[in-house]
Structure 1
């Protein structure tokens, strides 16, 4: 088994996420409690079981990082050393923790601040994000570029799969892009439940604050490869990439394809949802085995699978 771990990003959150793992898996509970001490509030009561807070970027980001890391730690005794990890946006921090680049407490402190910066930037620059379902992504990019040339603030934001490209920006300008894409023959677009136009230049104030925040942070060598969805390739300059990530498009599809091309044959997603597990099917097909751990049931299933391969 050449294992690749996928770490969930923001948008995967939901009320009650990880509650059954917290109750039934001691190593999971220990990690969540550790994260709560770093944050200065209880994750389970403040986020997991609060319908309003679970939608807020400043709370959601730390909770997802804590959950993904807690699952990873809970399976460490039966899991072979991964060949690589890949996270979607926020999930890159979980991936870097798994590869020992960031200490868990260090990552929690950074994400607490990153989430607050992005929450403020989103509040100051309210916008909209829409997933455009088409395999003609050049059409989407050209449509957006035409609007930009006319002063509109709409941008490519997430290359999730080779037939799903998320655009984001000022609401009125995104709406104009949607109409133009409809006129061009795009039949399906889905508005995303997010609190800001992430991975666009509208988040530049958050990037500026994160630049100052990361100035004195130190990063350790990787214990295995981590692929970045900001570049679509393996991380090289970690700090620069994490700063670019705030305002740049994500290239999850390209990064996952690169990881599989380099030999990964089994994928497991850790986090609140199975979004990346589903993306993987569309990106790399059926030949790569896929699993997910989103709750206690899937945790048990994957634990048994890993134990059987030892």
Structure 2
């Protein structure tokens, strides 16, 4: 098995996430309790509060904590991955699992990052729409034309090679949807988000994060982690610049997955509240590539047993 590990991003959260894991797995509970001490509130209680968990400021620390708690609970059952990848916020989970960030450090950073994005997003409300279709150049051209007319609408997430999320000022996104419909795009879906993430509308949050990350120490990697922003592997030297640009730059998840496949990954495992990323992988990778997700106690037990069996076979 050549494992690629994926870490859920914001939007994956849901009320009650991780509750059965918290009640059943001591290592999971220990990780969540440690994060709760750092942020100053009970993360598991927040994860069960439908109103709070929908807010950026609370969702980001909760998702990062859940993802890392799953890794901690898997322990030695988890083989060293060939590479890691997280979607947006999930990059911090990936960097933590790889050793580039300590868990305490990541939780503290994400608490502040989530607060910056919440405040700036509230002050600069936006909208995001997923555009389905494999002619992403057409979408880019329509947006470029609108931008030349002063409209604030941008490519935000290249999730698969047939799904590109656009974002910006709500009225401008609505105009883009109209223009894309005229250009022949048949399917578009508005996303339930509070802001236009990964667009210039979040520039003030990026500025605040740049200041916040100044002086942070980054460690060496136990295994490679791919960046959504560049599509390439993070290095200690590029971490600061890449993470500060990430908030306002498009994510290239599809391209990063393809790079992992080119590296030889034949099995993907997503950890976090949802199976969104392995569903994206299904649209990118060959059918022979295996896909798993750990989102609750049942899936944890199933995947852990599979990993242990695989490990025994390779001894």
Counterpart in the other structure of 1:243: 244
In 1, Cα distance between equivalents of 2:118 and 2:284: 31
Equivalence map 1:10-89=2 (5 Å): 10-45=10-45, 47-89=46-88
Q: CA deviation at 1:287?
A: 1.7
Counterpart in the other structure of 1:304: 305
- Secondary structure of the 2:44 match is helix
Q: What are the superposed Cα offsets for residues 253-303 of structure 1, whole Å, 9 maximum, x if unpaired?
A: 000100110111111000000000100000113121110000111101101
Are residues 1:103 and 2:93 paired?
Answer: no
Counterpart in the other structure of 1:285: 286
- Secondary structure of the 1:77 match is helix
Equivalence map 1:123-272=2 (5 Å): 123-236=122-235, 237-272=238-273
Q: CA deviation at 1:33?
A: 0.6
In 1, Cα distance between equivalents of 2:22 and 2:186: 42
In 2, Cα distance between equivalents of 1:160 and 1:215: 30
Q: What are the superposed Cα offsets for residues 183-213 of structure 1, whole Å, 9 maximum, x if unpaired?
A: 1111111111111100000000000000100
The farther-off stretch of 68-77 and 128-137 is: 68-77
In 1, Cα distance between equivalents of 2:248 and 2:4: 26
Give TM-score scaled by structure 1 length: 0.99
Q: CA deviation at 1:48?
A: 1.1
In 1, Cα distance between equivalents of 2:4 and 2:299: 17
Q: CA deviation at 1:76?
A: 1.9
- Secondary structure of the 1:52 match is helix
Give TM-score scaled by structure 2 length: 0.97
In 2, Cα distance between equivalents of 1:167 and 1:259: 25
In 1, Cα distance between equivalents of 2:75 and 2:279: 24
In 2, Cα distance between equivalents of 1:76 and 1:284: 27
5+ residue gaps, structure 2, are: none
In 2, Cα distance between equivalents of 1:57 and 1:306: 33
Are residues 1:5 and 2:13 paired?
Answer: no
In 2, Cα distance between equivalents of 1:28 and 1:43: 12
Q: CA deviation at 1:137?
A: 0.3
- Secondary structure of the 1:4 match is strand
In 1, Cα distance between equivalents of 2:189 and 2:116: 26
After TM superposition, what 4+ stretches of structure 1 lie above 6 angstroms from structure 2? Answer: none
Q: CA deviation at 1:106?
A: 0.2
5+ residue gaps, structure 1, are: none
In 2, Cα distance between equivalents of 1:58 and 1:182: 34
